[in-house]
Amino acid sequence: MATTSGPRGPRSGDRDRDRGPGGQQGGKKKFFYRRKRVCKFCVEKLEYIDFKDVKMLQQFIPERGKILPRRISGTCALHQRKLQNAIKRARTVALLPFATD
Amino acid sequence: MRTYEVLFILSPQIAEEEATALITEFRSVAEKTGAKLKNEEAWGRRRLAYPIQKSTEGNYHLFVFESDGSLAELDRRMRNSDRVLRHIIVRTDEDLKRADKLAKRNPKKERVRPVAAATAEGVGTPGIPAIEGGV
């Protein structure tokens, strides 16, 4: 798929490349197809977010130790709020850092 | 009946016997105020995410109580004890009940996904499920 031998020429090639990493940076805005992000908790039907579940919470803690905004993680408002509470609780008992550098 | 989770960190400097003594003391304090122990977990030594009182490790212990009263006395004891680096008391019954209700309202079901379209799209890009059609 790296070579642009797609049926519709360069455009479909662009598209595949942009979707490949699934990441934030896309060279050209115009042809940037962002993957539809879905709320992990809605999908997996996890209604209770436990502050003791460090492994799970860490998915929402980037390197710096901040809480991943929902515009990036795709978490829905309800679950982001619960997640936020859980992370803050985990921070008070030193399960998660307040900040790291 | 309310359910409380009590998580606390004991200082790693204290001896093991003293730690177990403290844990049993805390347990009895709570039970004296009408709480019933439902679950107990000794996590043991864990690295702290940040240093507390110059220690980088802590001895974690978890209680789950059920009680009609409050755990104020236990809270006070833990706050005043210099052996406890941190503690947190969280009431969980309401949240768990709400979560249960939500889970019942939308039971786990397979998301309807246009399978044919998904496989057709996903041919060239393994590992990246095509999920535009979903939700």
Question: Which tens digit of pLDDT belongs to each residue from B30-39?
Answer: 999 999 999 9
**Separation in Å, CA of A42 to nearest CA in chain B:** 10
**A4 token code pair:** 């642009």
**Separation in Å, CA of B32 to nearest CA in chain A:** 25
ipTM: 0.72
**CB within 8 Å of B14: residues ≥ 6 apart:** B22, B83
**Separation in Å, CA of A62 to nearest CA in chain B:** 14
Partner residue opposite A93 with nearest CB, options B86, B124, B135: B86
Kindly state the percentage of chain B with pLDDT values over 90. Answer: 66
Report the Cα–Cα distance between both ends of chain B, in Å, rounded. 38
pLDDT value at position B89?
95
Cβ <8 Å between B131 and A52: no
Which one of A91, A93, A96 makes the best mutation probe of the B interface by having the most chain B beta carbons within 10 Å?
A93
**CB within 8 Å of A16: residues ≥ 6 apart:** A1, A6, B124, B125
| Every domain of chain A and the residues it spans | 1-35, 40-92
Looking at per-residue pLDDT, the higher value among A3 and B98 belongs to B98
| A12-23 tens-digit pLDDT | 444 444 444 444
pLDDT higher than threshold 50 for residue A67? yes
Task: Determine whether domain A40-92 maps to CATH 2.40.10.10.
Answer: no
**CA B58 to each of CA A56, A94, B129: distance values in angstroms, whole numbers, following the listed order:** 21, 9, 42
- State how far Cα B2 lies from the chain centre: 16
In the CATH scheme, what architecture does the domain B2-100 have? 2-Layer Sandwich (3.30)
| Every domain of chain B and the residues it spans | 2-100
Closest by alpha carbon to B78, among B67, B64, B70, B88? B88
pLDDT value at position B26?
95
Backbone φ/ψ region at A9: left (φ over 0), alpha (ψ -120 to 50), beta: left
* B7 contact A CB<8A: yes
Distance in angstroms (rounded) separating the CA atoms of residues A20 and A74 = 19
